[in-house]
Amino acid sequence: MASTAPASTVPTSTVPSHPGSARANWRIFWNGGQISYAALFNWARPSIYIPTLLGAPTFQILFFAALGSYATGMDPAYFAIGNSVQVCSMAGIYGMTMAVANERWFGTLPTLMASPANRAALFGGRFIPFIVNGFLVSAYGFALSWIFLGVRFDAATLGIIVLAMVVTAFSCSAIGAVQGGLSLRLRDGLFGANLLVFLFLLFCGVNIPLSALPDWMQAVSQVLPFTHGLQAVREAIDGASLAEVGGLIATEALIGLAYAVAAFFLFRWLERSAYRNATLDSR
């Protein structure tokens, strides 16, 4: 998935002479995120994007819908909805992990850290491509589920579903950013990313109702991204209004924001530690 042509993801042409200004921070946030995505990934190529971000979700949704309905007798739509939302975590978690880890592996991280650019703008901009990716993958999953697995919803709730999906994609990217920060110290950051993706499958009500989980698993699910967003999507598909699911969406957004803030401070701490110990470019 990663490009073989290393390049600094924030070239000097995108960093104005006054890096502390609001205009400079906006340019770093918006342009830097796009350039980072283009420099570190080949997902823009259909030959990579389709099998990676569309092929795997297709088989995941079909597999769990068939297995779940056979094993439990429940409607395949229940499993289709859960997995259609869950597949957005692939783009967010893997993408944000690699957005940081690949800077290290390509050797561009020291150059990036030498930049006077605002760190919040620098790494905040990296969220945008993966939120969009996550939303598009989930939208594809719902289209697949509508065609083949009987998922139906009222057009009046479409806006609520879209809002919940976007917020969920953000929160998944936020915990992916935490894993990305950890990857600055880990030899294999994708191992942790794999664990997170499967953690969501087990803890967040994707294929197993939360009420059927042990109490300790239900408690863990409440502090994970994805749980409340998925619940909001399920209720909106059942006809709930924004007033009824707004609390769930707000909770999902707050959890995502908390992980994003944690990721920022984790990265700043690791950055200072790397400067002190001369480990910024160790691979």
pLDDT for res 151: 94
User: From the CB of residue 141, how many other CB atoms can be counted at a distance below 10 Å?
Assistant: 25
Question: Which DSSP string do the residues of 148-169 spell out, in sequence order?
Answer: HS-----GGGHHHHHHHHHHHH
**Nearest-5° Cα angle at 200, 170 to 165:** 35
Q: Which has the closest alpha carbon to 174: 250, 114, 264?
A: 264
Out of 42-56, 91-105, 236-250, least confident range:
42-56
User: From the CB of residue 71, how many other CB atoms can be counted at a distance below 10 Å?
Assistant: 10
Phi and psi at 2, nearest 5°, equal: -85, 145
Buried b (16+ CB within 10 A) or exposed e, 155-180: eebeebbebbbbbbbbbbbbbbbbbb
Average pLDDT value over all residues in the chain = 84
Integer Cα distance of 273 and 78 in angstroms? 46
User: From the CB of residue 51, how many other CB atoms can be counted at a distance below 10 Å?
Assistant: 11
Integer Cα distance of 31 and 23 in angstroms? 12
pLDDT for res 5: 43
Integer Cα distance of 69 and 13 in angstroms? 55
Q: What is the mean pLDDT of residues 245-271?
A: 92
Six token digits for residue 43: 């997902």
Q: What is the pTM of this model?
A: 0.84
pLDDT for res 126: 82
Over residues 13-67, the pLDDT tens digits come to: 444 445 557 888 888 888 877 777 776 665 556 677 777 778 889 999 999 999 9
Six token digits for residue 281: 């470019």
Q: How many CA atoms are closer than 13 Å to the CA of 83, on its beta-carbon side?
A: 27
pLDDT for res 20: 58
What single-letter DSSP state applies at residue 16? -
